Chain A
Amino acid sequence: MAMATAPSRAEVLSLLRSFLQAARKFSDYNIREYAARRAIDGFRGNKALSDPSAIAAAFADGMSQLEVAKRQAAVYSSYAPKTKSVMEVKMSPPERYD
């Protein structure tokens, strides 16, 4: 099996940006936050990798997960519920009664 070439630093950062942009497209608050959080945690967890084939494998895994995220964002938006999560409601500070 041919040895995959390790991605450059710029490619890795570009992949993270793509993940965060894909995460934004989710209509559901929970999935959106999870996707962004999981992407960042995943990249940070692999930060210390030094073996080029391990880096290439992690990058390839990231690419396939990115495809999953994009597909799922499209599917979720087809069935988006009409009510938004309470976390997305913009609250003004409560009035004081003194």
Chain B
Amino acid sequence: MASALRGAILGHVRVPIRTLDRSRSLSCLQTSIRSMSSHGDDHLTREEVVDRVLDVVKSFPKVDPAKVTPDVHFQADLGLDSLDNVEIVMALEEEFKLEIPDKEADQIISCPLAIEYIAAHPMAS
């Protein structure tokens, strides 16, 4: 949580570089302003999201790990029911430290949907 805040603040800080030559100072300022953020570090890469989502699904006791790919549908391909779906979404919430509202949680019914949701979520870590 704190690291997401830090990243958001750093993304807005600018450090203008002053030059001694006043005649060209305006153009120098414009080309010399650098953002201080190391943004990209705080956000998860898509590959990491995919790997971790697959790990969570594979470690679910009722799932056969051999069948898990990034495009499986929980109920259609893995033979789970809606109660298992609720459990899996809760496990994903814990893995990525998210709070997913009910309406959106009901729609996460396959690996691709889970990956899309988490990759797009700003607070996922």
List chain A positions with a Cβ less than 8 A from chain B.
Answer: 9-10, 13-14, 16-17, 20-21, 24, 40, 43-44, 47
Contacts and interface: CB of A to CB of B under 8 A. Distances in A.
Given A10-B106, A16-B83, A16-B86, 9 more contacts: A13-B82, A14-B102, A17-B105, A20-B87, A20-B90, A40-B83, A43-B83, A47-B81, A47-B83
B114 to A, nearest CB: 16
A21 B94 CA distance: 10
Interface residues on B, range: 10 to 19
A20 B86 contact: yes
A95 to B, nearest CB: 25
Interface in B62-116: 81-83, 86-87, 90, 94, 102, 105-106
Q: Is the interface of A mostly helix, strand, loop or mixed?
A: helix
A24 B106 CA distance: 19
A78 B88 CA distance: 30
Contacts of B86: 13, 16-17, 20
A47 B82 CA distance: 10
A10 B81 CA distance: 14
